[in-house]
């Protein structure tokens, strides 16, 4: 069932019980209904405790809201703990949820130094996302990125040895494929990658690859119930306009009513997966019965950066009447395009077959929903 059908289905079973507008607009509330309806495995979360590391960011935002919505939709959960360095302080959305009495705790935590002991005991499911994911930021903090992705992960898994949970989901990345040879696009999980070991992206790409090795060894030697997901270009509500990823940059330009700047020649291509579809995929992976690795993303509508900018501009005109120009600029970061993949498109055949993962929200629909959630139009 797509979002369009949910929006017009007056008999839908799952309704959000927070007061109207609690999250600023109805887009997120519709997304939460969509996630809950598509997740057949939600009964497995009944009575469970959840730990989300790096949960203060974009994906963590939707994971927390989705779990709370599942809790309010007939599948009771016990508690969610969100750990993050919170360099700008605990975000207002987490403070608001705690203030209204949701089963939620947020704590300032550094996965490379702080003890997991108090948080692992009694936890059923762990989503490990602690990482610096935006290229602009991991190029600025390369050693911190590597330490979190490798040593922070190992510290977490070691802490799980005496309190084995039901499931651990390690968030790897599509970046582990590097710049795939054209014959391997769409790229399946079996492709070993074409990755530079030295360079401005290596701190992230190679540490995520090493993280997968760490996960496989802890599963092999200690039977930890680890699963690995490789996300492909998530976007949507909750992606901050200051994030510096392409979708956020384009939305920010529209919000500020200025030209959309492309910091390349506009030819690299990607696919983009709307966050509500991605969250369904992540829940399906963590409840999978065996150790495995899954691409989670969209396998259709591979699009160039130039065409993506034009699509954002089209949606802007439809929502507000403002039609931004698209310009081509040079980044002030001399390494902005170094080792930047020319194409990125996943094969999700395995996820479709084993998980029944089926992303339904098209790119133009998702862009429109993202812009509305940012206060553009409507």
The predicted-structure confidence for 262-285, as pLDDT tens digits, reads as follows 989 999 999 999 999 999 999 999
pLDDT at residue number 338: 77
Which range (35-39, 129-133, 156-160, 278-282) has the least confidence? 129-133
pTM: 0.92
Q: Is 264 strand, coil or helix?
A: coil
Domain boundaries 3-238+273-300+345-361, corresponding CATH code: 3.40.50.720
- Assess whether pLDDT exceeds 90 at residue 122: yes
Q: What is the pLDDT of residue 24?
A: 52
pLDDT, residue 16, reads 36
- The answer, yes or no, to whether residue 12 has pLDDT greater than 50, is no
Measured in degrees and rounded to the nearest 5, phi and psi for residue 222 equal -125, 5
Distance set, CA 310 to CA 263, 298, 304, 345, 367 (Å): 14, 19, 10, 20, 11
Which of 5-9, 156-160, 171-175, 254-258 shows the lowest mean pLDDT across its residues? Answer: 5-9
pLDDT at 5: 32
On the question of pLDDT at 4 being above 80, the answer is no
Contact yes or no for 280/39 (Cβ under 8 A): yes
- For the cut 60, the answer to whether the pLDDT of residue 68 exceeds it is yes
pLDDT at 217 over 90: yes
Per the prediction, the chain carries an average pLDDT of 91
Mean pLDDT along residues 189-206 = 94
In this prediction, residues 245-267 reach a mean pLDDT of: 95
Average pLDDT of the segment spanning 175-193: 96
Q: Residue range 90-104: average pLDDT?
A: 94
Q: What residue segments make up the domains of the chain, in order of their start?
A: 3-238+273-300+345-361
User: From residue 187, how far is each of 182, 183, 206, 270, 343 by CA, in Å?
Assistant: 9, 9, 18, 12, 10
**Mean pLDDT, rounded, for 20-29:** 68
Q: Which residues contact 192 (CB under 8 A, 6 or more apart)?
A: none
> Across residues 30-46, what is the average pLDDT?
96
Task: Please give the pLDDT value at position 321.
Answer: 95
Instruction: Kindly state the average pLDDT of the residues 121-142.
Output: 89
Q: How confident is the model at residue 333 (pLDDT cuts 50, 70, 90)?
A: confident
pLDDT band with cut points at 50, 70 and 90 for residue 216? very high
pLDDT tens digit sequence for 45-61: 999 999 999 999 999 99
Contact indicator for 39, 284 with CB cutoff of 8 Å: yes
**Phi/psi at 284 (nearest 5 deg)?**
-65, -35
């Amino acid at each position: 069932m797509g979002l369009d059908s949910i929006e017009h289905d007056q008999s839908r079973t799952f309704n959000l019980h927070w007061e109207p507008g609690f999250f600023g607009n109805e887009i997120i509330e519709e997304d939460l209904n969509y996630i809950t309806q598509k997740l057949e495995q939600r009964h497995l979360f009944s009575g469970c405790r959840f730990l989300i590391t790096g949960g203060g960011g974009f994906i963590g935002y939707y994971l927390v809201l989705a779990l709370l919505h599942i809790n309010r939709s007939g599948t009771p959960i016990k508690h969610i703990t969100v750990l993050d360095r919170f360099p700008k302080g605990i975000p207002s959305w987490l403070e608001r949820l705690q203030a209204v009495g949701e089963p939620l705790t947020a704590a300032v935590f550094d996965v490379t130094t702080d003890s997991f002991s108090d948080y692992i005991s009694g936890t059923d499911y762990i989503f490990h996302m602690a990482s610096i994911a935006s290229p602009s930021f991991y190029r600025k903090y390369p050693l911190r990125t590597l330490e979190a992705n490798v040593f922070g992960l190992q510290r977490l898994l070691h802490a799980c040895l005496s309190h084995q949970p039901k499931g651990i989901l390690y968030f790897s990345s599509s970046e582990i494929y590097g710049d795939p040879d054209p014959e391997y696009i769409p790229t399946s999980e079996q492709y070993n990658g074409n990755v530079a070991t030295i360079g401005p992206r290596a701190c992230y790409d190679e540490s995520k690859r090493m993280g997968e090795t760490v996960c496989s060894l802890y599963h092999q030697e200690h039977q930890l119930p680890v699963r690995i997901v490789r996300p492909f270009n998530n976007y949507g509500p909750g992606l901050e306009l200051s994030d510096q990823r392409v979708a956020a940059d384009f939305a920010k330009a529209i919000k500020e009513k200025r030209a959309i700047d492309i910091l390349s020649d506009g030819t690299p291509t990607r696919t983009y997966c709307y966050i509500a579809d991605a969250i369904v995929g992540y829940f399906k992976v963590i409840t999978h019965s065996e150790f495995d690795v899954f691409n989670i993303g969209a396998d259709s509508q591979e699009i160039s950066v130039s065409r993506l900018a034009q699509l954002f501009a089209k949606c802007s005109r439809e929502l507000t009447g403002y039609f931004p120009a698209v310009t081509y600029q040079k980044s002030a970061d001399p390494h902005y395009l170094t080792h930047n993949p020319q194409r990125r498109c996943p094969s999700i055949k395995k996820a479709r077959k084993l998980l029944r993962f089926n992303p339904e929200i098209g790119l133009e629909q998702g862009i429109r929903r993202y812009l509305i959630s940012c206060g553009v139009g409507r």
